[in-house]
Structure 1
Amino acid sequence: MSLVRNLKIAAFRGITAIEGRRSVPSARLREVDNFIVFQHATALGTVIHSTPLFSALRHAVPSAHIAAVASGFSLDALRNNPAIDSVIETPSPLKDLKSSIQSIRRQFPFHNSNFVSLFPSGNERTVVTLQALFGGASTRVGFAVEPALFQVPLAFDRTTSQIANNLRIVEALGHTSIHFEPKIFFTEQDTAVVAELLADSGVDLSRPIVVFVTQTSVTQRKSWRPERFHEAAIYLKERYGANIVFVGTASESAAIDQLRSGLPFATSNVAGKTNLSQLTALMSLATVGLTLDTGPLHIGRAAGLPMVVIAPAWSPPIEWLPVDNERYRILKNADMPSASPDYIIDEVSVAEVLSALDDLLSSYAAERLQPSALRVLRET
């Protein structure tokens, strides 16, 4: 171990020793009912997979006051969550540590009460810990890149899911945790925006709405061939009269339009036209989804949308995908340690995808096309 590293560890241990008088002893963590959760993750899936922590914490400690410190898209993912009492917006400490510290000190909710600071997976960065430390958060529990700065540090367990890892925080506090699915909450105004957007896109509300997620980063090597998406879309249109609605980011819109141009009927492209909560509202009103393993998949899961997931051979499903959940069909037909530069998910066939879509539509179409959902859209 280097001299610099040894000096850092000594300094960190000195800080925690000084804080000792203000920290809650490990043996008494179970008695605490004030929590502040730091969420500055840079990946959308990471933020969404932290939302079960709030539900599980509320379930374990019904009287708890739960605050969240967040920046960026984390704010949209957490803002309307009923398990959270307050969301404290700060600049990202990854970009402006000083301002983020000043911001949290102005808004800090627990100056005169015992509380515990929690760090879900994806926030194990020294600057996030420093925001908490200098912002006034002394007792720290969760995932840490510098364990010496934590009273109860956790290390990520690669043999289980992101959700299960985050729920270990509840257990570290001395409580029993139960599984919750990810959840993003949206408002009536979000539903109104979606209703107008779908109407302007020519969506027939009396027919199934199938969300297509066809784009992902080229560096992730998680793509499926456009002609296969074409075959799936044509099948859904001919058999079910389905509306095909493509979603994604604004930067993906041109590629989506290029894919859509190969189809012999009209489809809708809402890529870049919704924010996070609006896209969740849209997916909550869709019937099924066909998706790659990428960000909008996690939004669909948070909306409870039944989906067929085309999974890459090189990525273990356990960490990110909804394994053993009857609302999802995960199609993964090969295993490899890594992906070659030209890898495409050719091992998943169109026939398998269509069979899985038929299965979901037979199981969930009646639920998803319930009159109340359609009435919300028509009356908004």
Structure 2
Amino acid sequence: MPHPTNFFLPQYQSALGTVVHATPLVELLKRSLPQARVVVASSGLAEQVWQENPHLERLLHTPNPLHDPVGAVRALRAARMFVGERYVTLLTTGNERTKITLAAALAGRSRRIGFAVHGALVQQHLAFDSAQSQIENNLRLLAAAGVPRDPAWPTEPRLYPGSADRAFAETLLQDVRRPRIALATQTSPTQRKSWSQERWVELAQRLRSLYGAELVFIGAPAETEAIDVLRAKISCSTTSAAGRTSIPQLAAVLKQCDLGIMLDTGPLHVARGVNLPAVIIAPAWSPVHEWLPVGHPRYRILKNADFPAPAPDDYIIDEVSVGDVLAATSDLLATARPAASEEGRTPES
């Protein structure tokens, strides 16, 4: 039986990590089947992640089916994907919402494979395997679709900031010396992934004194005020990109840095998508394999305690010290090449 060649991916995730962790699926799909045609339909934050992705034939902007299901179906049908040819719909993690599945079903006749709340709405239903990472769960879709995969191929996520995004980053950082260390210090309070403000301040000042590092704070618009409060307590000058970037612009900024020190939060996944080495301050309650790059030489994961979720309401990551972060930073800076030397390199070269 011949392999399918036309593939449609609805991408309407609300969590940044779930979108970024879908990108290896498309890259490996095209690597396995160079003749494959891949269409992604998306909106909002998720659409930003897929911009400039060279593995797509088309990136369709549509209304989000969760907010406007009728408008989404109309836009998908009007797009005339694959012009009447057979195609396969791949439903990745984060898109297992009934309105998204129904929109995919009403967009056109396709074989639907993947994660769904109601298995009857897909021809091949996959249940999330909590023993595997988000990326590996998505890559199970290849086998389900009959697409061969070489297990030796790299499976890192990838973002592709465009020329305007790169120009934005160069302007923002033009007066910022190297080494540039990106700091992602904020996360949702409901996720219990924070590190104390006092430790961030101590770490920032030690990074400047030990390495002469220039510190670049990143974060969402809602985090800008908290980041500014933190920066005011640091005795050395810093730069903030918080609240000033789209996702592609953030990717471009991180690509211009030499190292990241980050909580387990959305910007970390963007940093991973542009090959930025990073020290990750991880919470004790979260399974490390689900979201984080376990065993990858470009990362140091500091998870110094382990207990099952849910975390206590007053939990912060006290078990990771400033000394732990500095030791991991020294290790990575000794082996990592400056970001500028990575320009023009292939993702895993």
For normalisation by structure 2, the TM-score amounts to 0.94
Instruction: Name the aligned partner's letter for residue 137 of structure 2.
Output: N
For the 8 Å contact 2:169–2:256, the answer to whether it is kept is no
Secondary structure of the residue aligned to 1:281 is: helix
Q: 2:276 aligns with which of 286, 290, 305?
A: 305
Count of residue pairs the alignment pairs up: 340
For the 8 Å contact 1:117–1:137, the answer to whether it is kept is no
Secondary structure of the residue aligned to 2:262 is: strand
Q: 1:188 aligns with which of 163, 168, 174?
A: 163
1:346 maps to: 318
Q: Find out whether 1:70 has 2:42 as its counterpart.
A: yes
How many angstroms does 1:31 deviate by?
2.3
How many angstroms does 1:112 deviate by?
2.1
Q: Find out whether 1:203 has 2:203 as its counterpart.
A: no
1:13 maps to: none
Q: Find out whether 1:254 has 2:225 as its counterpart.
A: yes
Distance across 2 between alignment mates of 1:106 and 1:169: 26
Instruction: Name the aligned partner's letter for residue 269 of structure 2.
Output: H
1:227 maps to: 198
Q: 1:173 aligns with which of 108, 132, 145?
A: 145
For the 8 Å contact 1:208–1:369, the answer to whether it is kept is no
For the 8 Å contact 2:86–2:110, the answer to whether it is kept is no
Q: 2:235 aligns with which of 261, 264, 273?
A: 264
Q: Find out whether 1:80 has 2:52 as its counterpart.
A: yes
1:254-297, Cα deviation, whole Å (9 max, x unpaired): 10011111111110111011100010011111000100011101
1:23 maps to: none
Distance across 2 between alignment mates of 1:309 and 1:137: 43
2:257 maps to: 286
Q: Find out whether 1:105 has 2:80 as its counterpart.
A: no
Secondary structure of the residue aligned to 1:74 is: helix
Q: Find out whether 1:50 has 2:25 as its counterpart.
A: no
Distance across 2 between alignment mates of 1:203 and 1:277: 20
How many angstroms does 1:198 deviate by?
1.9
Distance across 2 between alignment mates of 1:31 and 1:313: 43
Distance across 2 between alignment mates of 1:284 and 1:56: 22
Structure number with bigger Rg: 1
Change (3 A) 1:62 1:270: same
1:155 maps to: 127
1:94 maps to: 66
For the 8 Å contact 2:51–2:248, the answer to whether it is kept is no
1:37 maps to: 9
Instruction: Name the aligned partner's letter for residue 198 of structure 2.
Output: E
Q: Find out whether 1:357 has 2:329 as its counterpart.
A: yes
Distance across 1 between alignment mates of 2:29 and 2:338: 30
Q: 2:183 aligns with which of 212, 230, 246?
A: 212
Change (3 A) 1:371 1:36: closer
Instruction: Name the aligned partner's letter for residue 203 of structure 1.
Output: V
2:91 maps to: 119
For the 8 Å contact 2:92–2:114, the answer to whether it is kept is yes
Q: Could you list the structure 1 runs, at least 4 aligned residues long, displaced by more than 2 angstroms after superposition.
A: 175-179, 366-373
2:305 maps to: 334
For the 8 Å contact 2:63–2:71, the answer to whether it is kept is yes
Relative to total residues, which structure has the larger helix share, 1 or 2? 1
Q: Find out whether 1:60 has 2:32 as its counterpart.
A: yes
For the 8 Å contact 2:86–2:109, the answer to whether it is kept is no
Distance across 2 between alignment mates of 1:281 and 1:241: 22
Gap runs ≥5 in structure 2: 345-349
Of 258-267 and 103-112, more deviation after overlay is shown by 103-112
For the 8 Å contact 1:222–1:344, the answer to whether it is kept is yes
How many angstroms does 1:176 deviate by?
2.6
1:209-258, Cα deviation, whole Å (9 max, x unpaired): 00000001111110101111112111211121111000001111110011
For the 8 Å contact 1:32–1:115, the answer to whether it is kept is yes
Identity rate, percent: 45
For the 8 Å contact 2:180–2:216, the answer to whether it is kept is yes
Distance across 2 between alignment mates of 1:264 and 1:137: 61
For the 8 Å contact 1:237–1:243, the answer to whether it is kept is yes
Gap runs ≥5 in structure 1: 1-27, 374-380
